[in-house]
């Protein structure tokens, strides 16, 4: 056990911090999709843990953890290719053919291919096994028809990692296949979804008889479930650390709000600030423990579910507390509001935290079954 960076890690962190301080301001805001990825790639910060053979740097997961932490703390732009780099890439490394690896990995690293993910469906929600989008065999491959929902970045994506039912009449986890779909194919329509905040981070993807060539099947036909699970395991890899670091940024902002409102001496406020700090520290250090487990075993354990679960609870608690601090001024949301309505926005946005990326109920179920060994709930 050693809770300090090694000299090599410290040097990497220092270099990264300096680079972020210089580059983040330039890329924050309205840059073209993939621009930030390109800048990262040029500086050598893409694919840190990917094998060298695929253009990565072959570093241990700790470095990805340092990257996740520092970039979030620096307020780096929301990474449009987070799905390509964090989820699709590692899945292609594990399950792709050599041709697919050659075709996709380098462009994902360089930011040339921005990816989105097409797993969820309107009627499936968290139940991925209820996927109804179907792929029908055709002469040159497959023809896909169906509807996907909650796809982040689909409006900016070049490619989509899609889960479709290739075996007619199959149910649940069987008969599914993972497909790499070119978003410029005929029959692909992307419809932005407007959230309760007014933002549009997510999209609906409507697919009508979309042609997918045979060489765009990822992994064996009919084993899409297993492939998708690899992808989702990677989603939880260092994402917990990113989330926690973003929460730390919000916490610092909360401290500033407490000062700005003249509430730093209020005993109730002080107690809640300290409670939130303990929650945040628990998340932060549990993230580092999960990272150590990942470094040793090569894959994140089911314990990583606790980071997502508890992050959503803490983020919601923080947002609710911040709004409470504002008092009646919390009713405003516009130029007259405190910090340009930041807390109002966070309060609305954070409600989705316990739903997106695996609902809290699903995550509790995973912990109960896989970690505690309790019988399956129904």
Partner 1 sequence: MDFALTDEQRDLSAAAARLLADRYPVERVAGLADTGGVDPDTWPHLRRQGWCDPELGMVEKGLLAQEGGYALAATPWWSTVGLAHPIHRAAGRELTTDPLTVAWQDDPAGGGCRAARHGDRWRLTGRRALVTDATAATALVVAADTDDGVALFAVRSPAAGLAVEAQPTLDRLRGAARLRLADTPGELLVAPGSAERVLADARRHAGTLLACEAVGVARRALELARRHAGDRVQFGRPIGAYQAVAHRLADSYVTLELATSLALRACWLHGAGDTAPAEVAHAHAEAVVAGRRAAVSACEDALQVTGGLGATWEYPLHWWYRRALWLDSFDTPTGAHLATLADHLLTTPPQPAGRPAG
Q: In angstroms, give the least distance from the CB of 333 to partner 1.
A: 22
Site string for partner 1, 342-361 (x = CB under 8 A): -------------------x
Task: Give DSSP secondary structure letters for 65-85.
Answer: HHHHHHHHHTTPPP-TTHHII
- Centre a 10 Å sphere on the Cβ of residue 191 and count the other Cβ atoms it contains: 13
Among 82, 293, 330, 339, binds partner 1 (CB under 8 A): 293
Under the binding rule (CB under 8 A), the answer on residue 1 touching partner 1 is yes
Among 124, 273, 318, 348, binds partner 1 (CB under 8 A): 273
Under DSSP, is residue 212 helix (H, G, I), strand (E, B) or coil? strand
Specify whether the CB–CB gap between 230 and 179 falls below 8 A: no
Among 102, 189, 252, 340, binds partner 1 (CB under 8 A): 252
Q: DSSP secondary-structure letter at 295?
A: H
Q: How far is CA 279 from the centre of its chain?
A: 21
Question: What is the rounded distance in angstroms from the CA atom of residue 125 to the CA atom of residue 122?
Answer: 6
Question: What is the rounded distance in angstroms from the CA atom of residue 111 to the CA atom of residue 41?
Answer: 8
Question: What is the rounded distance in angstroms from the CA atom of residue 185 to the CA atom of residue 159?
Answer: 10
Q: In angstroms, give the least distance from the CB of 72 to partner 1.
A: 11
Quick one: which segment of 133-141, 210-218, 235-243, 245-253 binds partner 1 (CB under 8 A)? 245-253
Of 213 and 301, nearer to partner 1 (C-beta) is 301
Q: In angstroms, give the least distance from the CB of 204 to partner 1.
A: 30
Among 16, 205, 309, 348, binds partner 1 (CB under 8 A): 309
Quick one: which segment of 121-129, 166-174, 235-243, 303-311 binds partner 1 (CB under 8 A)? 303-311
- Asked if 235 is an active-site residue, the reply is yes
Site string for partner 1, 9-38 (x = CB under 8 A): x-----------------------------
129 to each of 53, 164, 170, 173, how far by Cα in Å? Answer: 34, 10, 10, 5
124: left (phi over 0), alpha (psi -120 to 50) or beta: alpha
The residues facing 151 across adjacent strands are 203
Question: 55 to 114, contacts with partner 1 by CB under 8 A?
Answer: 62, 65, 73-75
Question: What is the rounded distance in angstroms from the CA atom of residue 44 to the CA atom of residue 15?
Answer: 11
Of 54 and 251, nearer to partner 1 (C-beta) is 251
Of 134 and 310, nearer to partner 1 (C-beta) is 310
Site string for partner 1, 161-190 (x = CB under 8 A): ------------------------------
Question: What is the rounded distance in angstroms from the CA atom of residue 134 to the CA atom of residue 138?
Answer: 12
Catalytic residue among 69, 70, 121, 235: 235
162 to each of 50, 118, 128, 193, 217, how far by Cα in Å? Answer: 22, 4, 12, 19, 10
Where along the sequence are the contacts to partner 1 (CB under 8 A)? 1-6, 9, 62, 65, 73-75, 245, 248-249, 251-252, 255-256, 258-259, 264, 270-271, 273-275, 277-286, 288-289, 291-293, 295-296, 303, 306, 309-310, 361, 363-365, 367-369, 371-378
Active-site residue set: 235
């Amino acid at each position: 056990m050693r809770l300090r960076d090694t000299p090599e890690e410290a040097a990497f962190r220092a270099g990264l911090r300096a680079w972020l301080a210089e580059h983040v301001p330039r890329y924050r805001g309205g840059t073209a999709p993939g621009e930030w990825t390109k800048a990262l790639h040029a500086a050598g910060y893409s694919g840190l843990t990917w094998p060298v053979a695929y253009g990565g740097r072959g570093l241990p997961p700790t470095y990805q953890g340092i990257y996740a932490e520092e970039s979030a703390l620096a307020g780096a732009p929301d990474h449009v290719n987070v799905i390509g780099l964090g989820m699709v890439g590692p899945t292609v490394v594990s399950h792709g053919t050599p041709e697919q690896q050659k075709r996709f990995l380098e462009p994902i690293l360089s930011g040339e291919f921005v990816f989105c993910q097409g797993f969820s469906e309107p009627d499936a929600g968290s139940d991925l096994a209820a996927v109804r989008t179907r792929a029908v065999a055709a002469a040159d491959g497959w023809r896909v028809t169906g509807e996907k929902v909650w796809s982040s970045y689909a409006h900016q994506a070049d490619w989509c990692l899609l889960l479709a039912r290739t075996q007619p009449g199959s149910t649940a986890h069987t008969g599914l296949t993972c497909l790499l779909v070119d978003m410029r194919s005929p029959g692909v329509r992307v419809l932005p979804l407007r959230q309760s905040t007014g933002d549009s981070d997510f999209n609906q993807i409507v697919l009508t008889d979309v042609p997918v060539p045979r060489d765009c099947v990822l992994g064996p036909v009919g084993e899409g479930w297993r492939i998708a699970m690899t992808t989702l395991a990677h989603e939880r890899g260092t994402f917990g650390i990113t989330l926690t670091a973003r929460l730390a940024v919000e916490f610092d902002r909360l401290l500033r709000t407490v000062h700005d409102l003249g509430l730093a001496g209020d005993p109730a406020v002080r107690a809640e600030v300290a409670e939130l700090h303990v929650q945040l520290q628990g998340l932060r250090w549990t993230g580092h423990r999960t990272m150590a487990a990942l470094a040793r075993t090569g894959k994140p354990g089911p314990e990583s579910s606790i980071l997502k679960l508890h992050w959503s609870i803490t983020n919601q608690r923080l947002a609710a507390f911040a709004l409470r601090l504002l008092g009646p001024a919390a009713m405003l949301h516009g130029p007259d509001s405190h910090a340009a309505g930041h807390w109002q926005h966070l309060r609305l946005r954070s409600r989705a935290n316990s739903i997106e990326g695996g609902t809290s109920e699903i995550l509790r179920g995973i912990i109960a079954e896989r970690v505690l060994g309790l019988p399956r709930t129904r």
